[in-house]
Structure 1
Amino acid sequence: MALDQDSEAAKAAEASAQKTADGATTGMADAAPSPLEQELARREALCEQAERVAGEKDWHHGSADLRRLADEWRSLRRWHDPREDALWKRFDAAREAFYQARDDARDDARKKKEALAAEAERLAGSTSWKQTAARMREMMDEWKAAGTCGHEADEELWQRFDKARKAFNAAREEDYARLEQARAQAKAAKERLVEEARKAAVTSPDWKGQEWRAASQRMKDLMARWKEAGVADRADNDRLWEEFTAARQPFFDAQHAHYEALEAAQKKAADAKRALVDEARALAAADDFSREATERAKDLDRRWKQLGFAGRELNDTLWEEFNTAKEGFWDKKRAFGEARHEEWRQRTQDAIVRRQKRISDLQQQADRLQERLNNAYATDHVEEMQDRLEQKLDLIDKIKAEVEDIKSRLD
């Protein structure tokens, strides 16, 4: 760049000198430009170069270029011409603009790098490996784009920034190593679980509810251990999951078939029990308490006991309905029997009352006969009255015996 600028400066100086010479030729035919005019033209060219350097903001080469231009400026003769002072102010303003912009840029770079170093130090302890690693790469690009803040400051901030990045990378590598070990352990554990699942999937057609429940619990335990085993590499994990699922499937197929058949049997039993409920309700509503109806009611219980389980939700409900209908018949039968018994008791008590009244009447008749006998004469048919008295007394004893017998049966 310095060589290009020298060449351009030379061309500019020659052009300025030529312009001055042309002006002089116009004014005075054969007059050459004066040394002052030539050096003013050279200083003009140096100002233009300094302004171009300030505008390019190439801090590494620009500073050297400005020093070279300043050295060249100082090498020129001092004419004490006011125009020289004006050009110097212009030249110096370009230099000041360059150095001010450089200082501002370095200050901005320092702030950016300090922020990046602080952020890297905060992220050094992060365990969000993927997200943080991506951010670290972005921060490196931002670091490069931030520019320089001076050699010493650059080096100090870089040490902080790089140390934090290395700490994060080391922790990530260590975690990846632990993860690889855990994946290997998970793979071995899941391979064992696949074998256990194959053995646990064997079933028997003779199994009852307890055996099925125990086998189902074993499958749940295997699934829980599978989840606790951790995660292997994706390829191994997917393959082992397919093997584990295939190993358990025979059990689930057999379990499904078993419960499907069980459900069908329970539905059949439920339908039969509903029919018995309806039959018990019809029997209770008929008000028929004959021996035949009673035997039918007893037979309902025998038939109910022969039916199977109707399912957890229905079995108790159907039993309550059946028992209510059945007891309805027996309650009505008992009420009917009690009514008949009460009617019999009433008739029996009425019979006792009638007999007791007859005894009272007979006793009165016997008493009158006895009184007549006591006052009778031999000619008053004494023997006939005595026979009649004895008959009445015998009848009284007979009726009393009947009353006692009826009372015993009543009690």
Structure 2
Amino acid sequence: MSGDPWGRVDEAGTVYVRTADGEQVVGSWQAGSAEEALAYFERKYDGLVVEINLLERRLQTTDLSAKDANTAIEHLREQVDAHHAVGDLDALRTRLDRLASKVEKRREERKAHRAKQTEEAQQAKEELVAEAEQLATSDQWRPTGERLRALVDVWKGLPRLDRKTDDELWHRFSHARSTFSKRRKAHFAQLDNQREEVRQRKEKLVTEAEALSGSRDWGPTAAKYRELMREWKAAGRAQREHEEDLWSRFRGAQDVFFQARGEAFAERDSEQRENLTHKEELVAEAEKLLPITDLQAARHSFRSINERWDAIGHVPRESKAKIESRLHAVERALQEAEEVEWRRSNPEARARAAGLTGQLQEAVDSLRARVEQARAAGNSAKAEKLEKELAGRQALLDQAQKGLEEFGG
């Protein structure tokens, strides 16, 4: 017999364990005392506790599958139900029940998680398909091609769906990519044809440019080169391997012509700079006529200057406006002097100006008298109104008198 709370040994050496359902036979012990027998089967119990502890820890810290976990639980449950240990076997059963419940809960959670993943994966793939089908009609060849390749990488990273759904979505996705690829291939084939046409057109332009390179007809030839350049730019680009060589020949032909023209123009510029020196001397001579005191003498001198000016020839373009503006300033001064002289010698114009001045003077005198009458009568409102009208007529009179003065009084 023994005082152990979970087990005892009878006189025959039979070991019992106490459970909620009553005592259960653990085994027979003939090799020693009852204490040794209980200690032996208690160690077996401790072994079961260690295994259950390990299983609990594995469930907490590892990604143990539900199948492997249930197998381990059933194995331990069989050992507990065999009653080959002394200890609180009911507590072990309870722990195993809790573990089984936890495993079932985890299995349901994983099932729900997989279902959610599948749903998200299907939604993601449907979005990829929709985007690919939209891109299939795009004309942005490079970015669209790069985007479709990126979509394929995204697709590969997504979980597989059920075979039917996955195959249907992949077929649409693949068809969209194929549609775009065919369109892009057709586009670039057409582009190659266009570039070949451009190459042939530019070959003709190069031939024309080379034929003109020896011309010495500077103006028309330069204009023709500008026309050829406009045609060159409008023609577009040929194939890359031809474009650079064609441009080199086209530009080279122009360089030959424009270099020759530049040398000729340099010689011309030297002559024009000398012309500028002579015209500056003439301008200085013309400017000495100002201010004009003797109109007839000034007119005669300016005519002589103009004749010599025209005989000199061209000056550098950048100096032309400045030198001519100085001569024109003297010419305008002569014209103004002639206009003043004409007004002074025109009796009809002077008579009209005198008549207008006289009429305005009479009107001013009349208004001034009416203002005085209104004030004498105490009619301030009428006086103020007449004063405003008087001020307007006085301004006109002042202006007319100035004009009359231009006629010499």
**TM-score greater than 0.5 by the shorter chain:** yes
**Is residue 309 of structure 2 the alignment partner of residue 304 of structure 1?**
yes
Would you say the 8 A contact 2:213–2:253 is kept in 1? yes
Give secondary structure in 2 for the equivalent of 1:55: coil
Unaligned runs of 5+ in 1: 1-19, 57-61, 339-411
- Residue 263 of structure 2 corresponds to 257
1:107–1:73: structure 2 CA closer, same or farther, 3 Å change rule?
Answer: farther
Note the alpha carbon deviations across 1:165-201, whole angstroms, 9 max, x for none.
Answer: 1111111111121122222222222222111111122
Give secondary structure in 2 for the equivalent of 1:28: helix
- Residue 147 of structure 1 corresponds to 159
Deviation at residue 129 of structure 1 after TM alignment: 1.4
Percent identity (aligned): 26
Deviation at residue 213 of structure 1 after TM alignment: 3.1
Alignment of 1:316-355 (within 5 A): 316-321=324-329, 323=331
Tell me which of 79, 92, 95 is aligned to 2:107: 95
Note the alpha carbon deviations across 1:317-351, whole angstroms, 9 max, x for none.
Answer: 254256468889x98xx99xx9xxxxxxxxxxxxx
- Residue 134 of structure 1 corresponds to 146
Deviation at residue 90 of structure 1 after TM alignment: 3.1
Aligned-partner residue type, residue 239 of structure 1: D
1:327 and 1:190 map into 2 onto residues whose CA distance is 57
Alignment of 1:4-403 (within 5 A): 28=38, 55=63, 66=67, 82-83=93-94, 85-204=97-216, 207=217, 212-282=218-288, 300-310=305-315, 311=317, 312-314=320-322, 316-321=324-329, 323=331
1:277–1:326: structure 2 CA closer, same or farther, 3 Å change rule?
Answer: farther
Would you say the 8 A contact 2:209–2:254 is kept in 1? yes
Deviation at residue 289 of structure 1 after TM alignment: 11
Would you say the 8 A contact 1:124–1:165 is kept in 2? yes
Deviation at residue 131 of structure 1 after TM alignment: 1.1
Aligned-partner residue type, residue 106 of structure 1: T
Would you say the 8 A contact 2:282–2:309 is kept in 1? yes
1:194 and 1:295 map into 2 onto residues whose CA distance is 58
Give secondary structure in 1 for the equivalent of 2:238: coil
Give secondary structure in 2 for the equivalent of 1:163: helix
Report the TM-score when normalising by structure 1: 0.57
How many residues get paired?
Answer: 295
Report the TM-score when normalising by structure 2: 0.57
Aligned-partner residue type, residue 153 of structure 1: T
Give secondary structure in 1 for the equivalent of 2:257: helix
- Residue 22 of structure 2 corresponds to none
1:158 and 1:187 map into 2 onto residues whose CA distance is 43
1:324 and 1:100 map into 2 onto residues whose CA distance is 100
Would you say the 8 A contact 2:292–2:334 is kept in 1? no
- Residue 86 of structure 2 corresponds to none
1:215 and 1:94 map into 2 onto residues whose CA distance is 90
1:130–1:44: structure 2 CA closer, same or farther, 3 Å change rule?
Answer: same
Aligned-partner residue type, residue 89 of structure 1: S
After TM superposition, the structure 1 stretch with the greater mean CA deviation from structure 2, 240-249 or 319-328, is 319-328
1:302–1:89: structure 2 CA closer, same or farther, 3 Å change rule?
Answer: closer
- Residue 371 of structure 1 corresponds to none
- Residue 387 of structure 1 corresponds to none
Deviation at residue 286 of structure 1 after TM alignment: 11
Q: CA RMSD in A?
A: 4.7
Give secondary structure in 2 for the equivalent of 1:127: coil
Deviation at residue 246 of structure 1 after TM alignment: 0.8
1:317 and 1:177 map into 2 onto residues whose CA distance is 61
Would you say the 8 A contact 1:277–1:318 is kept in 2? yes
1:286–1:119: structure 2 CA closer, same or farther, 3 Å change rule?
Answer: closer
Would you say the 8 A contact 2:129–2:173 is kept in 1? yes
